[in-house]
Structure 1
Amino acid sequence: MKVALMILAFCIASFAVQVKDVANTVGVRDNQLIGYGLVVGLNGSGDGTNSKFTIQSISNLLQGMNIKVNPDDIKSKNTAAVMVTAKIPAFAKSGDKLDITVSSMGDAKSLQGGTLLLTALRGIDGEIYAIAQGVVSTGGITGGTGGRGGNHSTSASVLAGASVEREIPQNFSQNDNLTLSLKTANFKTANDIEKALNFAFDSEVAQAIDSRTIRLKKPDEISSVEFMARVLEQDIDFVPENKVIIDERSGTIVSGANVEVEPILITHKDITIKIEPNAQAPLGANELDMKDGGIIDPTSNTLRINANKTTVANVARMLNKLGASPNDIISIMQNLKRAGAINADLEVI
């Protein structure tokens, strides 16, 4: 199947963002929970006899209900062993509801129509923080061979399927010394946040420690909650770093509209690229003028760019018109970066 190349561009310019858009509050975060359980009520689409742990789990469950049964006598295909995962947010209280994800561990064909039995969800410390149970839904979950929402989904979800039983200790209200951590390390952003907060509070409440860390000192006259609310809502000028992102699986290239490509000559397989800013060479016999500084010779697979400003977006778009495959375009971009012709971070995902 031919993979189409999609080229996206975004402008890199200074604009106002709030502190919460570029920084996190240290210590205020979600925590991961995990548990092992059983989904029952499946219409013959559960685990087969090869999933020994499922049979043993059923036996253990029944014995816990004072029903003694030999695991060798259990042949049910209406049950599937699953792993249950969830996130418990910061400051969650006992009784709060959590969404959960249920994923098959064995050879079940589908979890559709099943019910998750009571499952303990534990944190990394081994303590139980939530209890999950409920009818699972396979709608909107991709899994197995059935695709999105299909009849063969081995992943499912339960909205509000878990209840918080144990709270994670927090001393936020008693903490006068708080810390911000930038989502992306940047000395200028850290410095800008420090200046903006000190100006807004008219006192030295912020100190940038490094390119990612900003220490905060709460004024005595306001609470920690009010202080952080004002800090996170504070506007700052923000300039994102130029970056080129390549998704090899989908053939997608995302780059800043102003990411320039320096003059270079590169050959990849049967494709030749000549970037010659301000060159005024006349059109050859087989060359086609693309009207935006690019000249293409389809007979020799040559791309000649004669522009005052050549960008990654222009090069990718012209290569696409030349008929280059997504893999070839991605390889060319990577080699342009290696050769130093692209002055931006390149990230392959």
Structure 2
Amino acid sequence: MRVAVRNHLRWIVGVCIGGVAAGVVFFAGCGGQEEWDQFWDKFREKGEQPAPTPPVMNSRGKGLQGTIGQLVTVDGLQMIQVSGYGLVTGLVDTGGSDGPEIVKQYLVKEIRRNQGIGEPGMPAEEVIGSRDTAMVAVTGRIPAGAKKGDRFDVGIEALGTQTKSLVGGRLVLCDLKLFAETPQGIIEGKTLATATGPVFVSPFDRAGRPASKVDLRRGMVLSGGITKEPRRIRLMLTDPRYSVAEQIENRINSRYAGLEPIADATSPGSIDLDLPVSAMEQKRLFLERVMHTTLNGNTAFLEERARDLCDELVDLEPEYEVIGLALEAIGKIGLPMVRKNYASEQPGISFYAGRTGLRLGDREGMRVVARHARNPRSPYRKQAIDELGWAIEMSAAGEALRKVLDDEDTDIRIRAYLALRRHRNPAIETRVLDEDNLILDLIDTTGPYLIYVQRVGAPRIAIFGKRMRCNPPALFPDIDYREDGREYFTTLTAELGDDRMTVIYRNRRSGLQSPRLRAPLIVADLVRFLGDRFSLDDDKNPTGLAVPYSEVVDILGALCKRQTIPADFVTDEMITESEDESGRERRETEY
């Protein structure tokens, strides 16, 4: 038995490490992968230990002189890859009972420990042996700096050969652990996270096109991983000295801490860093500010430093990013010098000065950034839109983004929507359908109709245009649409001139078909009808069908392709963690 356990654990470790070769795709729920490439280039670690030499922080000017970043490396930036086994339920004859015996025994024990799995009174062995369930391998990555309860995406793959499809299933009973392969065998760590939630098998390829064939035995649970304990980030001194460690601790706490300290010099060579709550959504930015913070916090020194840095902005080849971060690290003391550059005719100077002011809470700086966001010719337009999205305490920033929603550029509109979503602006009406089936955003815009679908992070559909409606004739499924063997439970039809959509829904468990149901032609109302939980109104008519998210987005994609819905259909990009679109290896990044 011990040999069998070792061999199978070796297999799943191989799946985790070689996820792309095994066909499993991983995504970090906290997002911002490419955003971290710049930071990662500066502070790359060597293996699991901090680099023995200072991080690469080169600068011709004064932006990095005397900073904390010249004295430390960062430990704890590696994402932790975790794995485990789980059970997918609710498959209705598309699951399977075969798989490694050791996994089956493990899941039987878990079912006995947990009530509510399977039918009441059903023995655990029958639950595992049912064609309504499937044993799966589960993998995911816990981001650096994660707090307890943070969520991340997980990838799943059916074990055995009997399972035909995971579409419409739900992952339960999954603990995620760290496994390590050593000369003595596989070492199993403690449970670092759990995973649960509806399975999403994307009906589209990585470019967002309807895929003719999809592997229905693999899928994802969007934001299904939940961390059980926080992850620590630590600054490691390249020349350990307790006096310097204490200086760094005091400087970080005086500049960035609130009522409670966030830095703790635990030894001459290390400072534990507890990211403040305000920095959890922008961890990279917070760490970069820390690295650009000078040990000297004297007010006169900082004022002089701000003047010197602003003078460097007008150089022939200014280091905008370094200068901007260094000015942010100084704080509001430097704002009078920064404001003098808001009106510069040089786009780089005005944007980075405005961005610095915005990040420090200056409303005039926000207006400078807003001008770049509205200007189609600004080379910093996309960056400006992103910056306005983080200015959640400035209502004017939200209004500036609201105007960009009407832009002619689809990418710009989507970027503005993603930024505005953080503001809770009335231009976006949000509704959660059937607990965790999907999130529907209805966007008030006068621009061209657009549907945007998320495939990572959260099951979310954004409809640009409250009046968007289907134009019959309509038909779903269309036999020419795809050929992957996917089983559909929803049929939609409408004849030319119809004022409603006809929907027939087949009960996944009993196989019984509903009578012909009438659904609205307004797209947002149609999505609500399809995706919300099943319930009946006073006239005993259904108000929701609880159609799985993957099928809802498939329906929308098909209707847009046929122009039954007169809208562009766009999905977010799905790229594996080891390849970009050109096939080049990507560096592992952290958040």
| Normalised TM-score (structure 2) | 0.26
The structure that is strand-richer by fraction is 1
Larger Rg: 1 or 2? Answer: 1
Q: Whose relative contact order is higher, 1 or 2, with alpha carbons under 8 Å and at least 6 apart?
A: 1
| Normalised TM-score (structure 1) | 0.41
